[in-house]
Amino acid sequence: MAELFDAGFNTDDRPKSNDELMVAMSDCDVLVPTVTDSINGDLIGRAPPRLKLIANYGAGVNHIDLAAAKAKGIMVTNTPGVFTDDTADLTMALILNVPRRLGEGHRAMRAGEWDGWRPTGMLGHRIGGKTLGIIGFGRIGEAVALRAKAFGLNIIYNKRQRLPASVEEELGVTFEPDLDRLVARADIITLHCPLTAETDKIINAQRIAMMKPDAYIINSSRGELIDEDALISALETGGIAGAGLDVYTHEPAVDPRLFAIPNVVLLPHLGSATFEGREASGERVIANIRMWADAHRPPDQVLEGWS
């Protein structure tokens, strides 16, 4: 970017405040935010007329007020697909980790609490033959299904539009149109839908109560997809068997109650944390800016209605 453009950078690897973002936006044509930069309607409304492109570094755009950007004539792009395998790998790691209680075992070893093999010591659940419910079946959901199939999981999925039968057969998945029924059937639930007004707390107290008591939930998408209070209550009372979380409702803050629950694996938002993925995302950002600067439509435009 420095070679191609007159660019300014956030070099200290922390989110900018609204005031700092306003300063950064005051003298630029393109803004490149990350998921931790809140580009809200007020900020967009105060943006100078010369700002015409928000080239997001990452696929998720729930931190950007898309309606405000469109109203102001600011194009938004993102970088879809570059973190698909990285996030699917991490999700599969949690799917394996939580039912087998690997997190609990690791903590016991580090604390010097293990005193030898026992017939009933640290018993978890076998993965093969269990039912995996995937909520949201885009690129990442499909990539998780491919990995899960290799481990012998039976896969059901829910999304707005059903896949063609030929694709379902190829992936080895079964469509479940009723989300409540998917939640009740699944031994493991994993979330891969974007955060929208419709999906906010899609896993609420009512749906958590529908889960089997020996079921697990995995979230590597967005923390707000789960009602965190309801999840914690179910985990504390044994309503469900465990959880693997890479994202949280109030990041970077994590509800302290989660640390006290043994059957929870907590990760610090590592879904996209690979050298290869971050580099690929940066290349996509640059490609979008170059296309826009050359008066062409960027390949990863988020908003519709632009010529």
Chain centroid to Cα 33, Å, comes to: 17
Which residues does 17 contact at the CB level (< 8 Å), separation at least 6?
none
Q: Which of 100, 147, 251, 278 is catalytic?
A: 251
The torsion region of residue 73 among left (phi > 0), alpha (psi -120 to 50) and beta comes to left
Q: Which of 125, 147, 181, 269 is catalytic?
A: 269
The DSSP bridge partners found for residue 11 are: none
Active site residue 63: no
Task: Name the packing angle between helices 84-97 and 102-110 (round to 10°).
Answer: 70
Active site residue 224: no
Whether the Cβ atoms of residue 209 and residue 239 lie closer than 8 Å to each other: yes
Active site residue 222: yes
Give CA–CA dist 192/159, Å, rounded: 10
Q: Which of 101, 207, 222, 284 is catalytic?
A: 222
Whether the Cβ atoms of residue 243 and residue 211 lie closer than 8 Å to each other: no
Q: Which residues carry out catalysis?
A: 222, 251, 269
